[in-house]
A and B are shown apart, each in its own frame.
Chain A
């Protein structure tokens, strides 16, 4: 999800109008996290994943998120997740299917890899739905309203705010270095110096931002913003999702 930090608050989908968009960011965050939790605790069975996939599909249709954008994001994210999960693929015992020297893919490990990948995919769809439809500042605000530590939220906000500035500074330093070199690739020494300068600049900026905060009366603690109450629809959406997750679990228990 963090891969998209510089772009996700710019997503055009964040400013559309749909029943999903009309939910308070807190409720959207709640629904997404409950679904992730639900996916995590649901036993690995194809029909259960199918039910979750249908539920998420319904949410995508309701929220009018472009399927192309969703697939593009999932593509990037799954590459990272897939690499992390490779260790599961090589670790199994049982009937070997493919052997690459010492590395073996067995039937069990393939099933486990597929299971974890499916769960990761469903969770990512849920989180992407949230980040595509909710500007990042609103997600952080929702975290604060859900009693997430305020200081941590501020740190995340500052990171989000200044990431673009740092990426810009890194880009301009890289270009400035390239403009004075014959080749296009930078040596390790130059790249190291650029990173060192970036660190110092970050430090300097931190100092200046703190001064500017003090100039506007900051005395070390952030003032709380009022928390707007949740509407009945918000409550129903969260309760409905909890009901869905519990329902799926009970249904599979009965069978």
Chain B
């Protein structure tokens, strides 16, 4: 079973902007896939569909073998964990503990099971629970906020992890730590990013999106070496391959 199947997805914003114009792709279990493309190519819009936050105008979406329908939404939200680009949008509870607990609480977890889940997830993202549980969310550095946001999504134990620009705004050390985390996570991952070096290090496959269309997809190591293709579509070779 493929954890995520997208078929001919169309979406137009209320102002008439056509964001997706027939996007199709599928992820196989355990696969790490990068979604690259210039600004305005429809990456973030596509990601919002995968969690049922935007309703497709046309096309079908299958999550964990089930079609995306309002009746399946509980399952979909648990199955696909979406990490937003700006952690300020995601961390809304006053303290780290409460924010990481928000998702599992919505799944019905409570008591020591909930506390343990929160602690485990903070440890997974490298934040010491003793130091961070009681910290107010607004008082964290951007790197810490990003990791708390990730912990909040991991706490729902998703099968598919969808990340929107995970390395944006991180310093080199924070970025390196993120790459290591992404390499360690066992989940199937779809990572929308402009950081092509990150894509090269973490993803085996890459999908190139432009103006709401999948231009091409294939092994990252081949696709991200194709200078002509990348430059034609508003990108450039990853720094590590520029020699």
| Chain A interface residues (CB < 8 Å from chain B) | 9-10, 135-137, 140, 157-158, 160-162, 164-165, 205, 208-209, 211-219, 223, 225-226
Contacts and interface: CB of A to CB of B under 8 A. Distances in A.
Interface in B125-162: 134, 136-139, 152-153, 156
B52 to A, nearest CB: 8
B11 interface: no
A237 B93 CA distance: 30
Interface string B85-115: 0101111111100100111011100110000
Contacts of A162: 92, 138
Contacts of A214: 53, 77
Contacts of A164: 138-139
B92 A158 contact: yes
Interface of B: 48, 51, 53, 74, 77-78, 81-82, 84, 86, 88-95, 98, 101-103, 105-107, 110-111, 134, 136-139, 152-153, 156
Contact of A209 (B92, B95, B153): B92
Contact of A215 (B77, B91, B94, B101): B77
A207 to B, nearest CB: 9
Nearest to A212: B90
Given A212-B89, A214-B53, A160 B139 contact: no
Contact of B89 (A135, A137, A160, A208): A208
A198 to B, nearest CB: 15
A41 to B, nearest CB: 33
B102 A226 contact: no
Contact of B136 (A10, A165, A208, A223): A10
Contact of B138 (A165, A209, A215, A217): A165
B136 A217 contact: no
A213 B136 contact: no
Given A217-B78, A219-B106, A226-B111, A209 B53 contact: no
A211 B88 contact: no
Contact of B92 (A161, A217, A223): A161
B203 to A, nearest CB: 22
B153 A226 contact: no
Contacts of A10: 136, 139
Given A161-B137, A161-B138, A213 B107 contact: no
Contacts of B84: 208, 211-212, 215
A88 B105 CA distance: 51
A226 B91 CA distance: 21
Given A208-B89, A209-B89, A216 B102 contact: yes
A208 B89 CA distance: 6
A138 to B, nearest CB: 9
B95 A137 contact: yes
B88 A215 contact: no
B152 A216 contact: yes
Contact of B94 (A140, A208, A218): A140
B78 A205 contact: no
Contacts of A140: 94
A215 B105 contact: no
A211 B48 contact: yes
A216 B139 CA distance: 22
B98 to A, nearest CB: 7
Given A209-B92, A211-B53, A212-B90, A217 B156 contact: yes
Interface centre among B53, B98, B136 (most CB of A within 10 A): B136
B74 A217 contact: yes
A136 B111 CA distance: 23
Contacts of A205: 88-89
A213 B103 CA distance: 8
A223 B94 contact: no
Contacts of B106: 216-219, 223
Contacts of B136: 9-10, 135-137, 161
Nearest to B100: A216
10 contacts: A9-B139, A160-B94, A164-B138, A208-B86, A212-B84, A216-B106, A217-B74, A217-B77, A217-B78, A217-B103
A135 B139 CA distance: 13
Task: Give the 5 A-B CB pairs with smallest separation, nearest first.
Answer: A217-B106, A137-B94, A216-B103, A208-B89, A223-B105
Given A216-B152, A217-B107, A136 B94 contact: yes
B149 to A, nearest CB: 8
